[in-house]
Amino acid sequence: MTTLSPPPLDAGYLHEAEKVMQNVARTFSVATRLLPSDVRDDVVLLYLVLRTLDDLVDEDDPGALDAVDALEAWIGDGEVTSRETAILEDLSHRHPLPPSALAAFAQGMRDDLAGPDIRTEDDLDLYCSRVAGSVGQMMASILGVRDDAAWDAADALGCAMQRTNILRDVDEDLANGRVYLPRETLERFGVADLATHRDRTALYREQIARADAMYDDGLAGVPMLRNGGRAIAAAAVMYREILREIEREGYGATRRRAVVSRSRKARLVALALTRPALWS
């Protein structure tokens, strides 16, 4: 039973999402400026919902489980009991948000609450699909698709970005007691303790190659979007550059979080926009 009426687009929600993006998701913030005005606000609202849930889980907030429960209740019964489900209810009146993607995202949040248990590359692929591939598919539902192959491509692009996050944040995650790289892969590269292992080059090269292949698959789907192809292509090339930065910094040798400069991002976006085959 619905307990709250679907709200109209709230300028306060949009302002909050914009502020969060500028502070913690600058790449996404830059990319959204390229979105058509008739879908931009809805993409920003979706971002606010998913970012809020993800932050609650990452920060082990006491309300995280209730927030995930509320999301699953809305997916199952249309029950609106939180700000996030109210926004999703509003969005669902304009866009066919895929229930399977929403459910996958909720399960990914539960996986993170329980702590990662990733033994194989298949386990990592499944985790990435749940927490990020699902986001790609939700984005595609708002932007619209011309070809059903776009759904798999959206999943692949989300997974590529999540694998990029994992490589960029290896040491930060280690400090928080989390390891997302598969145990079988670490064993294959002779890594008994990732925190103290001195040379990660071979390991990172393989992981970067896997992510790059997923970027290729994801970018192949950009022309299948009805709207926002330029923005998605720009976001992809900026995010992919993190992998290049990891390579330039010695495959994790510095133990620093790889960061792409604003000037570099600007050049990459300009280049992407001169290559319409990526997005038209």
Dig out the tokens for 201 from the structure. Answer: 């080059």
Is the pLDDT at 7 greater than 50? The verdict is no
- Pick 11-278's CATH classification: 3.40.1110.10, 3.40.50.970, 1.10.600.10, 1.10.1370.30: 1.10.600.10
At residue 5, the pLDDT reads: 46
Please count the other Cβ atoms lying within 10 Å of the Cβ belonging to residue 156. Answer: 23
| Contact indicator for 178, 116 with CB cutoff of 8 Å | yes
User: Mean of the pLDDT values across residues 30-53?
Assistant: 91
Query: What's the chain's average pLDDT?
Result: 90
Residue-wise pLDDT tens digits, 63-94: 999 999 999 999 999 999 999 999 999 999 99
Residue-wise pLDDT tens digits, 156-183: 999 999 999 999 999 999 998 999 999 9
| Contact indicator for 34, 230 with CB cutoff of 8 Å | yes
At residue 11, the pLDDT reads: 60
Angle in degrees, CA 28, 35, 155, rounded to 5: 60
| Contact indicator for 266, 260 with CB cutoff of 8 Å | no
CA dist 259 and 256 (Å) reads 9
List the beta bridge partners of residue 225: 145
CA dist 137 and 101 (Å) reads 7
At residue 155, the pLDDT reads: 98
Dig out the tokens for 209 from the structure. Answer: 């190659």
Domain boundaries, the chain: 11-278
Torsions phi, psi of 271, nearest 5?
Answer: -65, -45
Picking from 2-6, 151-155, 199-203, 224-228, which range would have the lowest pLDDT averaged per residue? Answer: 2-6
| Centroid of chain to Cα 197 | 28
CA dist 129 and 158 (Å) reads 7
SS (H, E, C) the chain: CCCCCCCCCCHHHHHHHHHHHHHHCHHHHHHHCCCCHHHHHHHHHHHHHHHHHHHHHHCCCCCHHHHHHHHHHHHHHCCCCCHHHHHHHHHHCCCCCCHHHHHHHHHHHHHHHHCCCCCCHHHHHHHHHHHHHHHHHHHHHHHCECCCHHHHHHHHHHHHHHHHHHHHCHHHHHHCCCCCCCHHHHHHCCCCCCCCCCCCHHHHHHHHHHHHHHHHHHHHCHHHECCCHHHHHHHHHHHHHHHHHHHHCCCCCCCCCCCCCHHHHHHHHHHHHCCHHHCC
Residue-wise pLDDT tens digits, 206-253: 999 999 999 999 999 999 999 999 999 999 999 999 999 999 999 999
Is the pLDDT at 9 greater than 70? The verdict is no
